[in-house]
Amino acid sequence: MSSGFKKRIHTALIIIFALLVLCTIVQYISISTYNSTLHTFSSKDSKMTDEMSDQTSMDIHFRGNNTSSWIKRGMDLYGIISDARIFNGSTSAISDWKLRINIKGPCYLNQFWNGDVEVHQHVGTDKEKIQTLNLANYAEDEIELEHFFDESDLLIPLEEGDYIIYYPEENMREVPVKPGDETVVGFILYYDKSVDLSDYTFYYYFHRNYYEGPVFLIIGLLLVWGFFTLGMYITALYVYKKAERELELRKSGLSSMSGLYTIIYIVDLLEDTIIPVSYPEGMDKDRPKNLGANEQFKNLYKFDAAESYLEPLLEFGDLTTLPERMKNRNSISIEYISKNFGWSRIRFINMDAGSGRPVEKVLFTAEQISEEKKEIDKILRKVERAESESRVKSAFLANISKEIKTPITVMLKLTNLIVERSNDDDITSFAKSVISSGKVLMAEVDSVIDYSNLEVGKLELSPEEYSLSAFLDEIYELIWPRMKYKGVEYQTDITDTIPDKMNGDSVRLKQILITLIMYLISRNKTGGLRLGVFGKVVDKDKVHLLISVKEIEPKNRPDERIKFYRKYMEADNGVPKEKENEISIDLVEGMLKAMGSELNISDTYDNGNDYYFEIDQEIVDRSPIGKYSVRESEIDW
């Protein structure tokens, strides 16, 4: 924050505070003066109007009805009730008042309602007496004035020159008198011939609160102005401190980057200027500082870049298009060959990233990456060599598996001839066992061939017509010996309405299910298995199947979900024992992917693992499979 800005804010706050104090003093003095100023209204000058009273007035008049005047027969005196009416025509309340009535002729004071009356009797003589009484509530022995009683009426004789002063009673709501309101006080006088009440004076005070008046409005505005200025100052101070901390962090971050980059510049795209942060000693002295940032970079590229890289480098480093290219990006970079330093990389880093503002400032960095390039090349050569060796190994496995498959096929055909032509039951049984084992071996060889094809990306599907019931029988025939050996129970759950005759790659489906079943058996964590085939016809020539291999009564905690698409083949030492199952699952996943499906696993602890996938097959014949049950094996192990 600049010292000038601080000084202006401080000056403004001082002026506001001074004005606030001055206005507060003025308000206090003016309100106090206003409240303590005595105002008068005299009957002698009925046209007199006090500027501050705003037509506030007072008058005395006789009530003038039959019940307000009478004759006291025993003394031949007339009695009359009169009212003193006070009207507040101002905008301020009358906080206090008193009324002085000058007596113009002989009369007798009998009553004054509500408030106290100060009676001045025999004024100007040796017998002058002054006493304040509440004529509505008094004791006879308290009266010091000359007086007498006629029956129950108190009569205080008054002569010309005497006067009475009435003080209002607050409890009777005679004070204060609100603006536009009035109050009336009644009293009784007795007289012989006439009574003159035309000489009176009304004294009163106005009251105004300290939060009233134009000066108080000015005080309020000054307070708002002061708080606004103070808030603006605090906000500016906070923003400045935050920006200062960010700048310090940025400086420290840029300083720490100097060990990674050869050159670091801050580039202001709006001002087209460069602020050097870090560079090798002597390197920056030849920079044409009189030019704009864009021209300076063009000069740098032409000086440093090899000829074949100059054009793409100039296009990459064009600052006029940089804001658009870096929109929603944190950084962009390019690698080129420097005539002076070999392989180099320059990078523009968005310093306004995450702010939501257009790119205005970027960080330019340049670094030498020749050694990095060499390391990357070494790694790439190793990867390429490993991939080449893997392809050779996969091809070798595929070829050797095909070579092994030929004699197995011949052996199975010859064994079938023995079963067909032999009349010896033992020989027939042994031959059937050989056939069963040969089929298992053939399935393993097919798995090796498919795995090798997956490795090189050459797995091809072979759809053909097949029977679902025969398909399930073949699976059972192949897995039954292993399940019997392991003591594993085998169940099936087949939807009886799905078609029996379908078209699809039954060989691969069989491999997938046998591999899953053998995987679960090899884990030795289940008491039984259930093979489920569920489905529904989705249109006239297609059925959607859900095929499941589920554990029954698991003996141990289910294994963690398998991580698919991992290859465990090792170049020199073959496949470790603990990886064999994962490779089998990897083969299953690869074949399912080729068939447009994927393997899912539900691993609920109480019910065991459920391995399932979904696949569509073409319908050859809509006749349903009906109720399927496992056909007992003819082989006696």
CATH value at residue 137: 2.60.40.290
| pLDDT category of residue 602 using cuts at 50, 70 and 90 | confident
Contact 120, 113 (CB under 8 A): no
Domain boundary among 314, 346, 368: 368
Please tell me the least confidently modeled range out of 157-161, 381-385, 541-545.
381-385
- What was the pLDDT predicted at 531? 93
- What was the pLDDT predicted at 371? 87
Q: Is the dihedral of CA 310, 302, 280, 323 positive or negative?
A: negative
Mean pLDDT calculated for residue range 200-224: 90
445 and 358 belong to one structural domain:
no
151 and 218 belong to one structural domain:
no
- What was the pLDDT predicted at 566? 34
Inform me whether the pLDDT recorded for 478 exceeds 60. yes
CATH value at residue 570: 3.30.565.10
450 and 501 belong to one structural domain:
no
Is residue 187 in a domain?
yes
Tell me what percent of the residues of the chain surpass a pLDDT of 70.
80
- What was the pLDDT predicted at 565? 31
Inform me whether the pLDDT recorded for 589 exceeds 50. yes
Whole-model pTM?
Answer: 0.41
Mean pLDDT calculated for residue range 48-67: 70
- What was the pLDDT predicted at 458? 67
Q: How far is CA 585 from CA 522, 582, 601, in A?
A: 12, 5, 12
Please tell me the least confidently modeled range out of 151-155, 218-222, 264-268, 387-391.
387-391
Inform me whether the pLDDT recorded for 49 exceeds 60. no
What residues make up the domain containing 529? 461-624
95 and 129 belong to one structural domain:
yes
Inform me whether the pLDDT recorded for 381 exceeds 80. yes
| pLDDT category of residue 425 using cuts at 50, 70 and 90 | confident
CATH value at residue 338: 3.30.450
Domain boundary among 404, 423, 458: 458
pLDDT in tens, 125-152: 999 999 999 998 888 899 999 999 988 8
- What was the pLDDT predicted at 258? 46
Tell me what percent of the residues of the chain surpass a pLDDT of 90.
34
Most confident of 92-96, 248-252, 397-401: 92-96
Helix, strand, coil: what percent of the chain each, to 5?
A: 40, 30, 30
- What was the pLDDT predicted at 569? 33
DSSP letters spanning 370-426? HHHHHHHHHHHHHHHHHHHHHHHHHHHHHHHHHHHHHHHHHHHHHHHHHHHH---HH
Domain boundary among 347, 368, 389: 368
| pLDDT category of residue 8 using cuts at 50, 70 and 90 | confident
Inform me whether the pLDDT recorded for 498 exceeds 70. yes
Mean pLDDT calculated for residue range 414-433: 78
- What was the pLDDT predicted at 577? 46
Is residue 207 in a domain?
no
Q: Is the dihedral of CA 27, 31, 33, 39 positive or negative?
A: positive
- What was the pLDDT predicted at 578? 47
Q: How far apart are the first and last CA of the chain?
A: 94
Backbone angles phi, psi at 170, to 5 degrees: -65, -35
DSSP letters spanning 418-473? HHHH---HHHHHHHHHHHHHHHHHHHHHHHHHHHHHHHTT------EEEEHHHHHH
Q: How many CB atoms lie within 10 A of CB 361?
A: 16
| pLDDT category of residue 600 using cuts at 50, 70 and 90 | very high
How far apart CA 419 and CA 412 sit, in angstroms, is 11
Is residue 249 in a domain?
no
302 and 401 belong to one structural domain:
no
Mean pLDDT calculated for residue range 329-334: 90
Is residue 345 in a domain?
yes
Is residue 578 in a domain?
yes
Chain centre to alpha carbon of residue 247: 27
| pLDDT category of residue 240 using cuts at 50, 70 and 90 | confident
Contact 336, 344 (CB under 8 A): yes
444 and 417 belong to one structural domain:
yes
- What was the pLDDT predicted at 148? 92
Inform me whether the pLDDT recorded for 572 exceeds 70. no
349 and 387 belong to one structural domain:
no
Is residue 417 in a domain?
yes
H helices within 206-321, ranges in order?
Answer: 214-257, 293-304, 307-316
How far apart CA 505 and CA 613 sit, in angstroms, is 15
Count how many domains the chain has. Answer: 5
Beta strand 129-133 with 153-158 is unpaired
| pLDDT category of residue 257 using cuts at 50, 70 and 90 | very low
H helices within 258-369, ranges in order?
Answer: 293-304, 307-316, 322-325
Contact 272, 322 (CB under 8 A): no
More confident residue, 481 or 375: 375
Ramachandran area for residue 319 (φ above 0: left; ψ -120 to 50: alpha; else beta) = alpha
More confident residue, 576 or 152: 152
- What was the pLDDT predicted at 547? 95
Inform me whether the pLDDT recorded for 96 exceeds 90. yes
Burial 280-313 (b: 16+ CB within 10 A, else e): eeeeeeebeeeeebbebbbebbeebbeeebeeeb
512 and 528 belong to one structural domain:
yes
112 and 25 belong to one structural domain:
no
Q: Is the dihedral of CA 142, 148, 153, 155 positive or negative?
A: negative
Mean pLDDT calculated for residue range 525-546: 88
- What was the pLDDT predicted at 607? 66
> Which amino acid appears at position 69 of this protein?
S
Name the helix (H) or strand (E) containing 476. helix 468-486
379 and 233 belong to one structural domain:
no
Beta strand 499-504 with 542-554 is unpaired
> Which amino acid appears at position 84 of this protein?
A
233 and 288 belong to one structural domain:
no
Contact 131, 144 (CB under 8 A): yes
Contact 581, 562 (CB under 8 A): no
Is residue 167 in a domain?
yes
Is residue 203 in a domain?
no
Q: Whole-number mean pLDDT of the chain?
A: 82
Contact 360, 327 (CB under 8 A): no
pLDDT in tens, 277-327: 877 766 667 678 888 888 888 888 888 889 999 999 999 989 999 988 988
401 and 361 belong to one structural domain:
no
